[in-house]
């Protein structure tokens, strides 16, 4: 299934894109394996692979290679391939997770049995019965739950010249089986120990694989949150005027649909009859509700607020705005730059080094003695080569990063933010550009009275009281903001009479014997007020990013009420602290140029872009990435989701939408921007902990491999080294705190 989005057309004629979910990836080396395997196919121009979300985006020439060949190559490499973001794949992913869980549980049982047999051999001696029992465990593990590692993943990788962790674990397990089998005939080879090593190597690998599948499956289901915003049914008006609820699948372009107050707009369309105010903040980032009159466009998924209306359907299914954003999120997952984690950079060198050491051990005790003494020591050469493979499996190396992440995540939760991915710890320290959304991130995300300017004898409080009395009967969000401001000031708002509302324009009412009009400048002028003397002030307020409501009393202008989305109290300080930490802030917003400029100036951001659509936000992030920057973005709405996914590091405000939270790497639970600086500091310290863990783990594996080259190291020492290295990594991970306590107090509430 080729997926081609309107926003990202093919760059070359005849080249198509294929986006696939890839199951079974567990480390950054998998991305290299898949990229190399696919690009070896004649006709594949490029393959972008995301381990964070287990997806690949393949550009290929359909005249030279077909989709089934691409899928078959992935399956040969040991991965599963399916179309992304379709409802039926969620159940399949859950089945994949359940299978990995079963294998991990089986592995736990095998590890317990192998440990018991090792203890028995230690105290009772290596009897043939204990050795045979260990051999049965090893063979059952090898040909049972772990067979896909060796016979599919490992073999297919080797066949394509790819060295990765699957190849290493396959070699270690096979080496243990071979040497254990030799030990049944040659007493000098400790058969029980080598069989036990096979069980331990495969068991730890399967348990680690389950954790990886768990993370990826949960992350991949974020698009479901986006599609859930679409109501399952719409109230269609039939030709005979009757109304009935129908599934969205039964709608056609041109159908008339009634939208009630407080309901979500089901699909994209245009207002046919009536008017309302629609909250599009989750879609466009515009915090002030948009007045919708006849012929105005409405977007599926946005929230109708003030009045009911009839709309005509203009777009359905994959053509709707929400589905386009879903495709943008999906494509951003595949285009997101992969972070080659430190442990995987080590493995790129370590895996070939282990195989090289095994070859060296064999040559040293076969060719060496033959040159020196004329008689090769084949037994010792084989023992050395196989022991190197067994000692070389990096168990503690694989645990070093997860333990550091667990330690850092625990402390992050105490500070009010969640680190949802290991990449967050590795990336944040190298981020140079941090993109900040406006609505809901730098601002509170809802309109409030910012300023009241008296135009005649009425003071600010009296003007606000009269405006609130008139607006009391309105459901419009701006009217509610005026009423809330009066209530906060305890102005004693009275009941209005003869209330009349002009949807999307304003209201008129009788207040304490006076005729009051409140609404847009155009509306108030239409009610007979002369605003010529106030035009300059209105323009100044609008230039500062405010929405201006005019109060007229008895036909004369009385006051201007400026409403705006207020900047958060800690926004300016946070921007200053981010700049001091070496990050360059950039503001992106779907809001208008006037409002964007005012907010950017207030918080001290020099670089900003206004009226940015969701797909444009993701493209803006890609532009910065193409310039060589590591980019973080902070957002909270649907319109931020593609960019959150595309960025090297996505940071969501905890009060944001589900899709924003699910696509982010870091979540600021309390919504306090000041925690951004603490998060970066914690990420740097957590990365340092990872480095120390890897150094400890690598020391044991490295020393073990060098010792195994001598041909004198029994497999029991591999078990002891594994236990010691894991213990040291555990102790190092959970000793002390990563952040000093005073950091948690800075900028606190």
DSSP string, 241-308: S-EEEEEGGG--TT-EEEE-TTPBP-SEEEEEEE-EEEE-HHHH---SPEEE-TT-EE-TT-EE-S--
Q: What is the mean pLDDT of residues 699-724?
A: 77
Q: Is the pLDDT of residue 399 over 70?
A: no
Q: Is the pLDDT of residue 9 over 70?
A: no
Q: Is the pLDDT of residue 159 over 80?
A: no
- Least Cα distance to 481 among 464, 496, 504, 499 occurs for 464
pLDDT at 219: 46
Rounded distance between C-alpha atoms, residue 218 and residue 93, angstroms: 9
**Which phi and psi angles does 504 have, rounded to 5°?**
80, 0
Each residue of 98-131: pLDDT tens digit? 888 888 899 889 989 988 998 898 888 888 889 9
Each residue of 631-682: pLDDT tens digit? 988 887 666 777 887 888 888 776 555 555 556 777 776 667 778 888 888 8
Q: Which two tokens stand for residue 14?
A: 């005849």
DSSP for 51-97, please give it: TTTTEEEEEE-TTT--HHHHHHHHHHTT-EEE-SS-HHHHHHHHHHH
536-545, 595-604, 714-723: segment of lowest average pLDDT: 714-723
246 forms beta bridges with 234
563 forms beta bridges with 449, 547
Question: Regarding beta strands 417-419 and 433-437, do their DSSP bridges make them parallel or antiparallel, or are they unpaired?
Answer: unpaired
The answer to whether 280 touches 591, Cβ cutoff 8 Å, is no
For residue 127, count other CB atoms closer than 10 A to its CB: 12
Q: What is the DSSP letter of 338?
A: P
pLDDT at 508: 92
Rounded distance between C-alpha atoms, residue 628 and residue 589, angstroms: 23
For residue 100, count other CB atoms closer than 10 A to its CB: 23
pLDDT at 135: 92
pLDDT at 665: 74
Average pLDDT of the residues of the chain: 79
Q: What is the DSSP letter of 725?
A: H
The sheet carrying 607-609 orders its strands as 417-419, 666-668, 649-653, 631-635, 433-437, 584-588, 607-609
pLDDT at 419: 67
The answer to whether 209 touches 186, Cβ cutoff 8 Å, is no
Rounded distance between C-alpha atoms, residue 290 and residue 500, angstroms: 20
Rounded distance between C-alpha atoms, residue 640 and residue 659, angstroms: 9
Rounded distance between C-alpha atoms, residue 383 and residue 718, angstroms: 14
- List Cβ neighbours of 307 (8 Å cut-off, separation of 6 or more): 261, 274, 275, 276, 277, 475, 503
Rg (CA), the chain: 32
For residue 234, count other CB atoms closer than 10 A to its CB: 26
More confident residue, 527 or 289: 527
- List Cβ neighbours of 463 (8 Å cut-off, separation of 6 or more): 452, 454, 551, 558, 559, 561
Percent of the chain, pLDDT > 70? 80
The sheet carrying 16-23 orders its strands as 44-50, 55-60, 16-23, 80-82
Q: What is the DSSP letter of 366?
A: H
The answer to whether 174 touches 150, Cβ cutoff 8 Å, is yes
Rounded distance between C-alpha atoms, residue 482 and residue 694, angstroms: 59
Q: Global pTM? A: 0.60
pLDDT at 254: 92
155-164, 476-485, 613-622: segment of lowest average pLDDT: 155-164
- Least Cα distance to 51 among 165, 160, 148, 173 occurs for 165
228-237, 538-547, 616-625: segment of lowest average pLDDT: 228-237
Each residue of 183-216: pLDDT tens digit? 888 777 788 888 988 888 888 778 767 766 665 5
In the chain, what are the domains? 16-85 (3.30.70.100), 92-222+338-401+691-722 (no CATH), 231-320 (2.70.150.10), 419-443+568-679 (3.40.50.1000), 445-567 (3.40.1110.10)
Q: Assign 26 a pLDDT band (cuts: 50, 70, 90).
A: low
For residue 525, count other CB atoms closer than 10 A to its CB: 17
Percent of the chain, pLDDT > 90? 12
- Least Cα distance to 642 among 609, 617, 667 occurs for 617
Q: Which helix (H) or strand (E) holds 444?
A: strand 443-454
- Least Cα distance to 115 among 201, 206, 174, 200 occurs for 200
The answer to whether 210 touches 243, Cβ cutoff 8 Å, is no
Q: Is the pLDDT of residue 6 over 90?
A: no
- List Cβ neighbours of 580 (8 Å cut-off, separation of 6 or more): none
pLDDT at 517: 93
Rounded distance between C-alpha atoms, residue 623 and residue 619, angstroms: 6
Q: Cα–Cα distances in Å, from 22 out to 48, 73, 85, 501, 552? A: 12, 12, 12, 55, 63
pLDDT at 746: 46
For residue 734, count other CB atoms closer than 10 A to its CB: 12
The answer to whether residue 437 is catalytic is yes
DSSP for 188-223, please give it: TS-HHHHHHHHHHHHHHHHHHHHHHHHHHHHHHTHH
Q: Residue 420: helix, strand or coil by DSSP? A: coil
Q: Assign 493 a pLDDT band (cuts: 50, 70, 90).
A: confident
Q: Assign 178 a pLDDT band (cuts: 50, 70, 90).
A: confident
Q: Which helix (H) or strand (E) holds 353?
A: helix 342-373
pLDDT at 550: 93
3-12, 159-168, 269-278, 282-291: segment of lowest average pLDDT: 3-12
Q: What is the mean pLDDT of residues 363-385?
A: 83
Q: Kindly provide the residue ranges of all beta strands, DSSP E only, lying in 334-432, ordered along the sequence.
A: 417-419
Q: How many helices and strands (H and E) does the chain possess?
A: 26, 26
Q: What is the mean pLDDT of residues 10-35?
A: 71
Q: Is the pLDDT of residue 470 over 80?
A: yes
pLDDT at 1: 30
Q: Assign 748 a pLDDT band (cuts: 50, 70, 90).
A: very low
Q: What is the DSSP letter of 2?
A: B
CA dihedral 226, 231, 232, 238 (to 10 degrees): -140
Q: What is the mean pLDDT of residues 455-476?
A: 87
Q: Looking at 268, 437, 616, 640, which residue is catalytic?
A: 437
Each residue of 210-242: pLDDT tens digit? 766 665 565 445 445 544 555 678 889 998 888
Q: Residue 46: helix, strand or coil by DSSP? A: strand
The CA-based angle 55-57-61, given to 5 degrees, is: 145
Q: Cα–Cα distances in Å, from 665 out to 342, 399, 419? A: 18, 20, 6
Q: Is the pLDDT of residue 67 over 80?
A: yes
The answer to whether 467 touches 455, Cβ cutoff 8 Å, is no
Q: Assign 395 a pLDDT band (cuts: 50, 70, 90).
A: low
Rounded distance between C-alpha atoms, residue 95 and residue 84, angstroms: 16
Q: Is the pLDDT of residue 477 over 70?
A: yes
Q: Which two tokens stand for residue 199?
A: 């069980």
Q: Is the pLDDT of residue 270 over 90?
A: yes
């Amino acid at each position: 299934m080729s997926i081609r989005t309107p926003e990202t057309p093919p760059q070359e004629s005849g080249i198509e894109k294929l986006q696939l979910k890839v199951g079974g990836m567990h480390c950054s080396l998998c991305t290299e394996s898949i990229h190399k395997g696919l690009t070896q196919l004649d006709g594949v121009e490029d393959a972008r692979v995301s381990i964070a979300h287990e997806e690949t985006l393949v550009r290929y020439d359909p005249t030279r290679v077909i989709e089934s060949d691409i899928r078959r190559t992935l399956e040969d490499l040991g991965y599963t391939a399916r179309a992304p973001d379709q409802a039926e794949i969620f159940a399949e992913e859950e089945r994949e997770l359940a299978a990995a869980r079963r294998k991990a549980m089986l592995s736990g049982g095998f590890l317990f049995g192998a440990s018991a047999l090792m203890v028995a051999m230690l105290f009772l001696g290596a009897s043939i019965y204990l050795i045979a029992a260990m051999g049965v465990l090893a063979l059952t593990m090898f040909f049972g739950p772990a067979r896909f590692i060796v016979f599919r993943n490992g073999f297919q990788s080797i066949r394509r010249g790819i060295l990765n962790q699957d190849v290493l674990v396959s070699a270690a397990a096979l080496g243990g089986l071979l040497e254990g089998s030799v030990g049944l005939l040659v007493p000098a080879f400790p058969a029980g120990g080598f069989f036990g090593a096979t069980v331990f190597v495969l068991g730890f690998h399967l348990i680690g694989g389950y954790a990886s599948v768990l993370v990826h499956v949960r992350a991949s289901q974020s698009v479901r949150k986006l599609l859930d915003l679409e109501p399952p049914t719409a109230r269609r008006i039939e030709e005979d005027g009757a109304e009935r609820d129908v599934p969205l699948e039964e709608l056609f372009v041109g159908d008339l649909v009634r939208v009630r107050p407080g309901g979500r707009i089901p699909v994209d369309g245009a207002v046919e009859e009536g008017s309302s105010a629609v909250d599009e903040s989750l879609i466009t980032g515009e915090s002030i509700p948009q007045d919708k009159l006849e012929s105005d466009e409405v977007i599926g998924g946005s929230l109708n607020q003030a009045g009911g209306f009839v709309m005509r359907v203009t777009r359905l299914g994959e053509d709707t705005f929400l589905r386009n954003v879903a495709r943008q999120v999906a494509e951003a997952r595949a285009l997101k730059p992969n972070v080659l984690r430190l442990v995987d950079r080590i493995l790129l060198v370590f895996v070939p080094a282990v195989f090289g050491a095994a070859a060296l051990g064999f040559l040293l005790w076969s060719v060496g003695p033959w040159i020196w003494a004329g008689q090769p020591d084949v037994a010792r050469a084989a023992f050395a080569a196989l022991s190197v493979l067994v000692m070389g499996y990096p168990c503690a190396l694989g645990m070093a990063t997860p333990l550091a992440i667990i330690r850092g995540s625990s402390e992050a939760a105490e500070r009010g933010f969640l680190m949802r991915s290991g990449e967050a710890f590795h990336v944040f320290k190298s981020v140079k550009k941090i993109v900040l959304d406006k609505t809901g991130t730098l601002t509170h995300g809802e309109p409030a009275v910012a300023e009241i300017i008296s135009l005649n004898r009425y003071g600010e409080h009296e003007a606000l009281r009269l405006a609130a009395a008139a607006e009391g009967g309105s459901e419009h969000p701006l009217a509610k903001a005026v009423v809330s401001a009066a209530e906060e000031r305890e102005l004693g708002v009275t009941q209005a009479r003869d209330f009349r509302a002009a949807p999307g324009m304003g209201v008129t009412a009788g207040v304490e014997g006076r005729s009051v009009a409140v609404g847009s400048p155009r509306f108030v002028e239409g009610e007979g007020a002369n605003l010529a003397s106030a035009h300059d002030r209105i323009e100044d307020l609008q230039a500062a990013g405010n929405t201006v409501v005019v109060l007229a009393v008895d036909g004369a202008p009385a006051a201007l009420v400026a409403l705006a989305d207020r900047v958060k109290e800690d926004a300016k300080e946070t921007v200053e602290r981010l700049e001091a930490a070496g990050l360059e802030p950039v503001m992106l917003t779907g809001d208008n140029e006037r409002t964007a400029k005012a907010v950017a100036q207030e918080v001290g951001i020099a670089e900003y872009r206004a009226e940015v659509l969701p797909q444009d936000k993701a493209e803006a992030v890609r532009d910065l990435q193409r310039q060589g920057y590591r980019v973080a973005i902070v957002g909270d709405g649907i319109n931020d989701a593609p960019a959150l996914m595309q960025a090297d590091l996505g940071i969501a405000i905890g009060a944001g939408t589900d899709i924003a939270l699910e696509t982010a790497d870091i979540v600021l639970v309390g919504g306090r921007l000041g925690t951004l600086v603490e998060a970066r500091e914690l990420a740097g310290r957590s990365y340092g902990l990872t480095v120390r863990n890897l150094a400890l783990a690598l020391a044991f594996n490295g020393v073990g491999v060098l010792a195994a080259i001598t041909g004198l190291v029994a497999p029991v020492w591999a078990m002891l080294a594994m236990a010691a290295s894991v213990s040291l990594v555990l102790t190092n991970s959970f000793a002390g705190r990563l952040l000093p306590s005073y950091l948690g107090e800075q900028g606190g509430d």
